[in-house]
Amino acid sequence: MMVNNRPTPLPHLAGFSQRDGQWYAENIPLASLAKDYGTPLYIYSKRAITEAYQAYDRACVDKNGQRRARIHFAMKANSNLAILDCLKRFGAGFDLVSGGELARALAIGAEPASLVFAGVGKSAAEITAALKAGVKCINVESIPELQQINRIATALQCRAPISLRVNPDVDAQTHPYISTGLKDNKFGIAYHEVLKTYREAALLPQIDVIGIDCHIGSQITTTAPYLDAVDKVLDLVVQLKKEGVVIRHLDLGGGLGISYGTETPPDITEFTNTLLNHVAERGFAHLDVILEPGRSLVGNAGVLLTRVEYLKPGAEKNFCIVDTAMTELMRPALYEAYHAIVPIQEKELTPQTYDVVGPVCESGDWLGRDRSLAIEEGDYLAILSAGAYGFVMSSNYNTRARPAEIMVDGDKAYVVRDREHVNDLFAGERTLP
Ligand SMILES: *Cc1c(COP(=O)(O)O)cnc(C)c1O
């Protein structure tokens, strides 16, 4: 049997820490949260979200106190209302990818002018809702979509503010499922067709061209692909100006990566400064810049707490079977993503190597492989870096009720979403008469 004595690589965490052999969310031991609220349980740290937001915001204001960029949180990363409300109070806007997300943003009282609406397949109903709400901008990904928006705006007798999402054809050097800026991705308008598409947009009577947009992928851990994308997008802005199309804002998307344990992404403030300085050096300081971070604001602000149900020794592998599954955290099954997994209380036991797996009937249902853990049945584990693309990707497969979500602020814990009840999962179903 393969034995792994390597220590678990840990991310740097602002809101979670280990003291005297115990893990804490800010000032609250995770053990007491497990006892009070049960598992599986998502736990978010307000402090961690605050620090990540401030790291961006510091770079968004120049030396003279002039704002040169705005943060629109990509809420698909984590759309819990408490998180949205927290970011709204800091001054963030939002990046939406569905009518459902628009409803969430409106539910927390976000200013419509702080919303940008992205997505490759917006339905007529979604476009109608966005125009009625008065969003700042719709980011358009094809000519048929542009024509659809024009038709709907005509019917509503309003004008539609749009930008085109450019596919800059740069390699973000990330996982193929989360790379979006390459020629063969479904996203955006092919680079060589952008000028033509802007010309068409300019001819549509109800369309107001206001910006240009790109988003090259997710979990990107170097700055270089962003600088390439900025250069290619600014080249277009220059050409558009010659043709009389005035671009007012430059939306550079999101995608900055976080450390899940082994990566070393750039510091948020330095990264943002580099990007914004580059835009200014090329002579575009007058453009309003929009950044749409998702993962880097919330990814390391959340953990998923789980209980060890059974330790199952095997000839090839030992299994640690926990009460959390791919239904609560899909990233390992979907991308073979690594999440650090730690016992929330240190024990004087000899560590064993385990595959940490859930109870769902799929071989893809694993959370961590070959992990060295000193644990017994009934112990609790924290799956780290679970604040982004965690709860939002959860499902009810195997008729599993989704977990509660808690936000910790100092020494207070708030339930920000109730645990689902099994009966609610089939309450809308009917048998035949
Ligand atoms: C997903 C997405 C983002 C955020 O990506 P992160 O990797 O979470 O920062 C931003 N903009 C658009 C258009 C997206 O689809």
The DSSP result for 230-256, as a single string, is HHHHHHHHHHHHHTT----EEE----B
177 has a pLDDT exceeding 80 = no
Question: What does the pLDDT look like over 193-249, one tens digit per residue?
Answer: 999 999 999 999 999 999 999 999 999 999 999 999 999 999 999 999 999 999 999
Residue 184 pLDDT > 90, yes or no? no
* pLDDT of the residue at 369: 96
Two tokens at 275? 């990007």
Ligand 1 centroid, distance to 19 Cα (angstroms)? 34
Only one residue has tokens 């094809």, namely 142
In ligand 1, the atom with minimum distance to the C-alpha of 118 is: 13
Distance 21 CA to ligand 1 centre (A): 36
Q: What's residue 97's pLDDT?
A: 97
Q: Among positive and negative, which fits the CA dihedral 360, 335, 395, 8? A: positive
Give the ligand 1 atom nearest the CA of 295.
Answer: 8
| Structure tokens, 68 | 């040169």
Q: What is the pLDDT of residues 93-137, one digit of tens each?
A: 999 999 999 999 999 999 999 999 999 999 999 999 999 999 999
State the pLDDT at residue 63.
86
- Mean pLDDT for 272-288 is 97
> Best mutation site among 76, 78, 331 for ligand 1, i.e. most ligand atoms within 8 A of its Cβ?
76
Q: Is the pLDDT of residue 1 over 60?
A: no
pLDDT interval class at 5 (50, 70, 90): low
Q: Compute, in angstroms, the gap from residue 291 CA to the centroid of ligand 1.
A: 9
pLDDT value at position 174? Answer: 67
Q: Is the pLDDT of residue 173 over 80?
A: no
From the candidates 86, 137, 320, 361, give the one annotated as an active-site residue: 361
Task: Tell which atom from ligand 1 comes closest to the C-alpha of 257.
Answer: 7
Query: What pLDDT is recorded for position 72?
Result: 98
Residue whose tokens read 């020629």: 183
Nearest atom of ligand 1 to the alpha carbon of 297? 9
Tell me the whole-structure pTM to 2 decimals. 0.96
When pLDDT is averaged across residues 290-306 and rounded to a whole number, the result is: 98
User: Ligand 1, closest atom to CA 217?
Assistant: 7
Provide mean pLDDT across the span 263-268.
96
Q: Residue 291 half-sphere exposure, CB side, CA atoms within 13 Å? A: 29
- The pLDDT of residue 172 is above 90: no
Active site residue 214: no
**Coil, strand, or helix at residue 384?**
coil
Task: Please report which helix (H) or strand (E) contains residue 158, including its range.
Answer: none
Ligand 1 centroid to residue 294 C-alpha, Å:
6
- The chain-wide mean pLDDT, for the chain, equals 95
The conformation of residue 315, written as its DSSP 8-state character, comes to S
**Measured CA distances, 169 to 17, 247, 275 (Å):** 40, 21, 18
CA distances from 301 to 85, 314, 399 (A): 15, 35, 28
Pick the residue whose CA is nearest to atom 3 on ligand 1: 254
pLDDT tens-place string over residues 132-170: 999 999 999 999 999 999 999 999 999 999 999 999 988
Mean of the pLDDT values across residues 262-266? 95
Which tops the pLDDT comparison, 395 or 12? Answer: 395
Residue type, position 336, single letter: E
User: In sequence order, what are the beta bridge partners of 45?
Assistant: 408
CA of 37 from ligand 1 middle (Å) equals 31
Residue 105 phi, psi (nearest 5): -60, -45
Q: How far is the CA of 267 from the centre of ligand 1 (A)?
A: 18
- Please give all residues whose beta carbon lies within 6 A of any atom in ligand 1, as ranges: 74, 76-77, 95, 97, 118, 215, 218, 253-256, 292-296, 388
Q: Answer whether residue 88 shows pLDDT above 70.
A: yes
Q: Greater confidence, 48 or 169?
A: 48
Q: What local confidence, expressed as pLDDT, does residue 169 receive?
A: 87
What structural domains does the chain harbor? Answer: 2-45+299-425 (2.40.37.10), 118-293 (3.20.20.10)
Exposure string (b/e) for 221-258, b if CB count within 10 Å is 16 or more?
bbbebbebbbebbbebbeebeeeebebebbbbbbbbbb
